[in-house]
Amino acid sequence: MFSDLNAADFTGAVPFYETQFEIILGKITDCYKLMKKDIQELPNDENKIRDALLLNYLKNNQIRKKLGLLPWHFEREIQEDHSIGRTDIKVISANTFLMQEAYYVLECKRLDNTNVTGTSGLNAKYIENGIYRFISKYYSSYYRVNGMLGFIVEKLDISANIQNINKLLVDEFKGANTSSTMVQGNFIADFPDHYHSIHKDTDDNPLKIYHLMFDLHENIQR
């Protein structure tokens, strides 16, 4: 299968790579649930929360084996070869060894309950410094699917906040080239807080962004 991996023939393979990425996202969610239970105090810092998830779970050999994460390797703060971005988390699979551009990207962002409908709150930054990075090709999207992890650091109605982000996408951030605003997914059991949106990049090519909302407000140090 991997011997046929070629960007020129990619269109027909998109559903396969979406499904593969959904499996990965489900396992990352399992790691989040463990972290939420295990780590009682997390700093209110995007990179440190990411590192707690990555180093204690996604790169933990015992957990990787237990959760079936062995086919994938996770790296942090990696400079991309063919774009100017430094990815929060780069997800490498067997495909990457045959086609170096063939990997997934995860962008991490904090979210709180301050100025949730304004253009200077963390919801706006989630779009401007998150979603926009895929649209502008600051991050590459070889598979045409990538993801974002929203770290909820204050008590927040997640469903209502998704509508706030969607309103910002439609009214204030038209540069996101949104074809479909964030809608709830159904591929992670017992975890309703996962979504996806559809956009077009600067070359007018469609791409899908998955959004996992990890509620950590009870774990954040005060």
Q: Is the pLDDT of residue 81 over 90?
A: no
Choose among 77, 199, 92: nearest CA to 144.
199
The sheet carrying 194-200 orders its strands as: 73-79, 86-92, 103-111, 145-152, 206-215, 194-200, 178-184
Amino acid occupying residue 152: I
Amino acid occupying residue 140: S
pTM above 0.85, yes or no: yes
pLDDT score, position 14: 63
Neighbouring C-alpha atoms within 13 Å toward the C-beta of 7: 11
Q: How far apart are CA 60 and CA 83, in angstroms?
A: 29
Segment 129-174, tens digit of pLDDT: 999 999 999 998 899 999 999 999 999 999 999 999 999 999 999 9
Q: Is the pLDDT of residue 1 over 70?
A: no
Percent of the chain with pLDDT over 70: 91
Q: How far apart are CA 27 and CA 33, in angstroms?
A: 10
For residues 84 and 86, the model is more confident at: 86
Amino acid occupying residue 149: L
Average pLDDT, the chain: 91
Give the DSSP letter of residue 127: I
Backbone angles phi, psi at 133, to 5 degrees: -70, -25
Q: Is the pLDDT of residue 5 over 60?
A: no
pLDDT score, position 98: 83
